[in-house]
Chain A
């Protein structure tokens, strides 16, 4: 290799090393700021983003109707198992309904622990999916609006699937799957309850 090329290579390498040094310095600064942020964070309940009762109050503008219970009778068990991939570990599911709107508080395990989710269905369409309690240290991205907004206006197909694709989050596959199942379950359960739909 000609001496000029070697010089060029060395110069290139020096520039690269300088770039890495700057990158390292930047990363170190960011991490120092992070450490400050970590230890200045106020402790709060583990992953509690909204109390389930507060969610129901909010959905019904501060005056929620009395809760009702949908009994998981034999005809409902098979489709529920098909949606969830396992039987529901409850004999009945509580819900709140008024003027066609049905609100549910449902839980499904993400990786190891249950994700408590508030879901609102209005006339067969998902209107709101909100993570209320997230108990794990990975997969937390699913609680953000940029993820849950994908469910808005989704409906259930005859095969008990959502009528649209929900884009996942790398590294949060199980949390994404849990929320998708809960959305399908809420739509299916809403089909089973009678609502006082206004004309």
Chain B
């Protein structure tokens, strides 16, 4: 009975399902063609949509480009509106020193310097350097305000330039480039300080430019020195600087330099200065400075070496007021400074170590007095940033005729 009922049920389901099975049969070719046509239409519609989207993306790109250009142009207009500010640059440097020496124990903000430069046109520009020394300036104060540079430079061509005004003379390594981040040792080296004498500026004019690949020259006619002729500082070159402050201008000077920088990290240069009379008409003492130096930094290794020599005229008959009478007809100095610089593990910035041997004699012309000064400096510089430096050095002197001044120095400096 049950089997009968089951058989009837199956038969009934089959009968009911037959028309459905007949409807699911494969479509005819005509029906297929219609389906394909419809799908093709859909594809074409999608294609059009895609093209429209691409077009919109392209348009958006163009709009973004135009918007970018407009923003950049607007920024450019703002900067043009402020063209005076754009053509005027401010920079500077400073150095704080602590000296613990036999001669003194003191802390001093030695130099605070500001540069103001202005570009008048593509070919004419102005440079200046204003310095406050020893933090406080005024009557009975230790410091002074000094104008070290104020000159106009003209381009004669892409490689030749003329300049006029008050400027640093092209002599030695430090005289023109003396930002604290650029040299080792807290204080500037004694040879360039006492012989050249750094920092040395005069008023005048001249030319500088490129001679050939790596070779350059400077030649200037300027105001000159006016040295003391008596007392302990007689004929000391450093004390003869007039600093272009109501300076006597009876006799000027000519300075020239030839420099070779034809290899990365290597500078070789020689300078010559001649002055007809360093007493400005009083005694007719002519003087010549010869200086030569090498400044090398190849990879981590550095070497600076410099020789400088002054020759002052002496009379046929030497009298008390003659430079030869105090042995200052010859003043000579030299130094050599090897160094090494690099990064230290993962410590940010760079560390450099150096040693310097300095020899100088401002009484070299004396045949009776031992006056040679010798000083060894060893120390390190740490640059946490290329424009910021912390310094330490120890100095040991071995002087022939003067008391030794030994000890150590600490310093910090910056430039911007």
Contact = CB atoms under 8 A, between A and B. Distances in A.
B217 interface: yes
A39 B159 CA distance: 11
B265 A168 contact: yes
A23 B32 CA distance: 104
Nearest to A20: B288
B207 A38 contact: yes
Interface in B264-321: 264-265, 267, 272, 274, 288, 290, 295, 297-300, 311
Interface stretch (A51-59, A89-97, A98-106, A189-197): A89-97
B65 interface: yes
A45 B159 CA distance: 11
Nearest to B210: A140
B42 interface: no
B213 A144 contact: yes
B211 A34 contact: yes
A42 B161 CA distance: 13
A46 B264 contact: no
B10 interface: no
Contacts of A61: none
Contacts of B209: 34, 38
Contacts, number: 115
A171 B261 contact: yes
Contacts of B274: 24
A120 B89 CA distance: 31
A63 interface: no
B320 to A, nearest CB: 19
B27 to A, nearest CB: 47
Contacts of A27: 256, 258, 272
Given A20-B288, A91-B72, A141-B261, A169 B272 contact: no
Given A20-B290, A35-B207, A140-B210, A170 B295 contact: yes
B119 interface: yes
B309 to A, nearest CB: 9
B153 interface: yes
Given A30-B258, A146-B214, A38 B300 contact: no
A170 B182 CA distance: 9
A41 B158 CA distance: 9
Nearest to A171: B177
Interface residues of B, number: 53
B349 interface: no
A165 interface: yes
A166 interface: yes
Contact of A44 (B158, B267, B386): B158
Nearest to A169: B261
B42 to A, nearest CB: 33
A47 interface: yes
Interface string A9-38: 100000011001001100100110011011
Contacts of A35: 207
Chain A interface category by residue count:
35 or more
Nearest to B294: A170
Contacts of A137: 125, 153, 155, 161, 208
B159 A41 contact: yes
B158 A46 contact: yes
Nearest to B219: A31
B160 A41 contact: yes
A144 B344 CA distance: 31
A141 B157 contact: no
A95 B144 CA distance: 53
A127 interface: no
B119 A150 contact: no
A34 B157 CA distance: 13
Interface string A89-129: 11110000000000000000001110000000000000000
Nearest to A149: B264
B157 A30 contact: no
A30 B217 CA distance: 10
Given A30-B258, A89-B75, A23 B214 contact: no
A170 B288 contact: no
Interface string B142-186: 000000000001011111110000000000010011000010000
Given A23-B290, A34-B211, A41-B156, A170 B89 contact: no
B262 interface: yes
10 contacts: A23-B290, A27-B272, A71-B68, A92-B68, A112-B117, A146-B214, A150-B264, A167-B265, A168-B265, A169-B265
Given A38-B209, A92-B68, 5 more contacts: A16-B311, A34-B209, A91-B71, A135-B122, A144-B214
